[in-house]
Amino acid sequence: MKNVDMEIEKEAVLGSLPVLTGERLYGFIDALLILSGYCIATWSYTQGAYLTTLVGFKQLLIGAFFGAILMLVIYQLPVILSVRWGIDIWIWLRAVLGHKGVVLMSLIIIVINYPWYAVSADLFASSMNALAKKIHLPALPHTLMSVACVVIITPLALFPHRANYISELEGFEYYGGKFYRQLGTLGTRKFIDDMALIKNIQKVIKRGDIIVIYPEARYANVGTSTIIPNSVGKLCKMLDVPVVALTMHGNYLRSPIWNTKVRKQARLKAEIQQLFTPEELKNTSILQINEQIRQSISYDEYKWQKDNKIAITYSERAEGLELVLYKCPVCGKEFQITSKGSVLTCTGCNSKWTMNEYGEMLAENGHLQFSHIPDWYEWERANVIAEIDSGKYHFEGKVHIEALPNEYNFIDLGNGTIEHTPEGFLLTFKDYGEKEEKNLFFPANTTFSLHTEYNYRNKGQCITLSTYDNTYFLFPLTEGFNATKLQFAAEYLYKINFKSKGKKL
């Protein structure tokens, strides 16, 4: 007889025999501790998490503890009798109810328990969903693509050499600091003067390793390159090592930041080229270095799509595009554009544009249009610049604030206000643990650009502002907040502030 069969027979025989007092392994205290442990590990987490979605904290405690005790004292009374005789509860029930009675009782208990099974299945499903997000399954495809670029494409391009990468602290919070560091990632905050990061970069170079920098430090809102600060050239000159540019095409088309659903037809293509040797760096000015870097990683994804005849058939391909194309080129109204499927509609003047499979915008009623999305985007930027130059630019609105002081967790700071003027951003809020409101000012000449998100962790659009110790994620609560417009304004205000100081950007 096989071992398995023997075990089954043993269980069938010994499982029905009465257990003698002296054979019992656990006493009351042992059973209490062990079962309490199981309960905390399973019921408390699952039920606790579920109850928080329904009731407040006091009612949660009552529901979790008193509810469970009430049911258990009634439900478990027969257990006391079967335990006293050392027999299985179902065998004891057979003596009371008979064979058919036990079968009936089993069916009744299964039916009664079904609502609980439904809750458990729902909890299991949501847990798996959360886990799937944590390991970057298609629920967050853009994140998947971002990580893929770091962990697959770049290492492939650099193989057999290893590299260190620079990432915002938020990435450490999302993926887990341990995992992120194992990838060789150095943390920073966006658009601050991070001297610690410079020292870390120097350390990497000093030990002979490669440092990978994403010099734009932001998403490509419409698949075009953005301005790179002169400090990148300064850094190259200071490090005095070969400079290599790696440009990726198709990443934006595959999963644009304003609608991250993966478009499978978009292929990825990466180009790598050496820009400078250490000797060439010595003989080249910082401005020339920057110019060459800018040229080498200049891209226009929609042009690339058209040139390579990449048809994206995803039917909802324009949904979310109104977050970057927020101004109607026909009536000039802002934030009136809506999207559905592949169509953008201005609710102010009823103009419609259809995004074709090659990423071109076709006007349905023949109005003035930008068929090339980046042209529309740059037209909006020009409008913001004109607004600032005419002295009319001003934004103020309520925001919900979440702070990320470390790599571990966000802190909900409640609501506050953000004001953007030509002088900079003024954030008014109550900091963690403080009773009084405080003002935090971010001068225009310190915000080189602005980090924008369009559906950050399914919470909608947001911008971030960073100090050396904290990053504030600002989610709009009032109309008129548009992350793209604020970004345009911040970038231009930085530029004119620099020019007013006689510096070259």
Partner 1 sequence: MDNRELEKRLSLMESSSYIYPKPFSKKDYVLTAILALICLTVIIGGGFL
Classified as helix, coil or strand, 50 is helix
Q: Measured between alpha carbons, how far is 93 from 326 in angstroms, rounded to an integer? A: 70
- Residue 478, interface with partner 1 (CB under 8 A)? no
163-182: contacts with partner 1 (CB under 8 A): none
The answer to whether 274 contacts partner 1 (rule: CB under 8 A) is no
Question: Does 83 participate in binding partner 1 (rule CB under 8 A)?
Answer: yes
Q: Would you list the DSSP string of 145-188?
A: HHHHIIIIIHHHHHTTS-EEEEEEHHHHHHH-HHHHHHTTEEEE
Minimum gap (Å) between residue 188 Cβ and partner 1: 46
Contact 210/222 with Cβ under 8 angstroms? no
Which tokens belong to 145?
């693509």
Distance CA 142, CA 153 (A): 15
Q: Which of 7, 8, 11, 17 touches partner 1 (CB under 8 A)?
A: 17
Q: Which of 1, 5, 21, 156 binds partner 1 (CB under 8 A)?
A: 21
Interface with partner 1 in residues 38-77 (CB under 8 A)? 56, 58-59, 62-63, 66-67, 69-70, 73-74, 77
Tell me, by CB under 8 A, how many residues bind partner 1: 24
Instruction: Give the largest Cα separation in the chain, rounded.
Output: 97
CA dihedral 311, 262, 465, 214 (to 10 degrees): -70
> Between 16 and 478, whose beta carbon lies closer to partner 1?
16
Least spacing, CB of residue 47 vs partner 1, in Å: 14
Residue 366 in contact with partner 1, rule: CB under 8 A: no
6 sits near partner 1 (criterion: CB under 8 A): no
CB of 62 to partner 1, least distance (A): 4
> Any contact of residue 298 with partner 1 (CB under 8 A)?
no
- Closer to partner 1 by Cβ: residue 18 or 98: 18
CA distance 387 to 392: 5
Q: Could you give the C-alpha distances from 495 to 316, 419, 449, 505, in angstroms and in order?
A: 36, 19, 10, 7
Whether omega for the bond prior to residue 374 falls within 30 degrees of 0, making it cis, is no
CB of 45 to partner 1, least distance (A): 21
DSSP code of residue 42: I
Output the smallest distance, CB 1 to partner 1, in A.
14
CB of 13 to partner 1, least distance (A): 4
* Binding site residues, partner 1, CB under 8 A: 13-14, 16-18, 20-21, 56, 58-59, 62-63, 66-67, 69-70, 73-74, 77, 80-81, 83-84, 86
